Homo-oligomer: A and B are copies of this chain.
Amino acid sequence: MSKPNIVILGAGYGGMITTVKLQKSLLAEEANITLINKHDYHYQSTWLHENAAGTTHHDRTRIPIQDIIHREKVQFIQDTVCAIDPEEKKVKLSDGEVSYDILVIGLGFEAATFGIEGLAEHSFTINSINSARLIREHIEYNFALYNNEQRKKQARLNIVVGGGGLTGVEFLGELANRVPELCREYDIDKAMVRIINIEGASTILPNFESQLVEYAINSLEARGIELITDASIKECQKDHVIYEKDGIEMEVPTMTTVWAAGVQANEIVQQSGFQTTNGKVKVRKDMRTPEYDDVFVVGDCALVMDEQTNRPVPATAQIAVQEASLVAQNIKALVKGRELQKFEPNLKGTVASLGEDDAVGVVFNNRKLYGWKAMIMKQLIENRYLYMLGGFKLMLKKGKFNLFV
């Protein structure tokens, strides 16, 4: 291949790390690298829950793409991907078309609402800077409206979070810290505010060990969060949500339902004709699609099976970053005519934050962490990522050092 066009779709964890690794390992005369993204910034979706709760400003969570890419090596196009044509090796954008020799699909996730009535129209999801700051403003607006209405509406003060997985729990932890501030700001009695979590499994954080779960439950309940398990949301409307538990339907008045109970791969992948399983491409060991030797998939759009457990590897930021490193390496191999390597996930553990200085997690060979120690670990993971993305300077600029100062 003489100076191939490498096109990377999406500037999430997978797309960004692929781009950064490629701009380091390939010379400008070896390949044309193009990164395409809807926004001119990258954001760390694992921190969006803080922007949504209003505890951290969204500018802390996003990084201008131009600050990370080397302009002499990478061309950046700000546009929305509409479709991929893998036969013609073309990507259709809102405002044009791009041809590729090698493609990386890192188009991320979107909310999956499983056909639940009204959920797509009336619930919010924490999946972008735009949606996160809208949730922040939506909550504030309802608190502001509360004291302006003759007939006070409890629905304005109730916040329902659907799903008690990682995102749901982390958002609840931030809300628990934020709500007292909001009550002061809008002259509202804190006792009037309800924060309700509805989880389908028999516990929150179903993938965590029971000791960690217990710690998390105590932390959240002590701050007034109501945890309802073994329950499922049946319907969501503008001013209420209906859930079912033990065969009984309950209606909760709320203007704010945040849906954190399901994600799916970006629909464009399936719509573009790739073979998919639950919307994801079950990639080969070298992270390429089964059908095309020139198309790689990373992050939420890729389905990677764990050879030992024969179960899908979780689609976390950690795994997306690992995949992207391999994809960059394999693209270089493809360009140089060398052999491609296979992906081997390295699960380093997970930490769930529970608020400003509280968290639970498992790291390094099942070591359990609680409280501020777990939070420091979460920050270290974050800072390591930033170092990988933009070096020491970016880590200092955007890193999390709350507990050290």
The stretch of A67-75, A128-136, A229-237, A322-330 in contact with B is A128-136
Is A277 positioned at the interface, with any CB of B under 8 Å from its CB?
no
Check if A144 sits within 8 Å of B137, measured CB to CB.
yes
Determine the distance from Cα of A186 to Cα of B130 in the docked complex, in whole angstroms. Answer: 8
Task: Looking at the assembled complex, report how far the CB atom of A187 sits from the nearest CB atom of chain B, in whole angstroms.
Answer: 8
When C-beta atoms are compared, the residue in chain B nearest to A62 turns out to be B187
Residues of B within 8 A of A141 (CB): 137-138, 140-141
**A308 at interface by CB-CB < 8 Å:** no
Which of A129, A134, A140 has most chain B Cβ within 10 Å?
Answer: A134
Instruction: Tell me the complex Cα distance, A266–B351, Å.
Output: 57
Give residues of chain A (206-243) contacting chain B, Cβ–Cβ below 8 Å: none
Q: Is A148 an interface residue (CB 8 A)?
A: yes
Q: Which residues of B contact A131 (CB under 8 A)?
A: 148
Nearest to A136 among chain B residues (CB) is B144
Q: How far is the CB of A65 from chain B (nearest CB, A)?
A: 14
User: CB of A145 within 8 A of chain B?
Assistant: yes
- Alpha-carbon separation in the docked complex, A141 to B133 (Å): 9
CB of A147 within 8 Å of the partner chain: yes
> Which residue on chain B has the smallest CB distance to residue A144?
B137
Partner of A145, one of B134, B140, B144, B145: B134
CB-defined A-B contacts under 8 Å, sample of 20: A130-B144, A130-B147, A130-B187, A133-B144, A133-B185, A133-B186, A134-B144, A134-B145, A134-B148, A136-B144, A137-B137, A137-B140, A137-B141, A137-B144, A137-B145, A138-B141, A138-B144, A140-B140, A140-B141, A141-B141
Known: A133-B144, A137-B141. 4 other contacts (CB 8 A): A129-B187, A130-B148, A134-B148, A137-B137
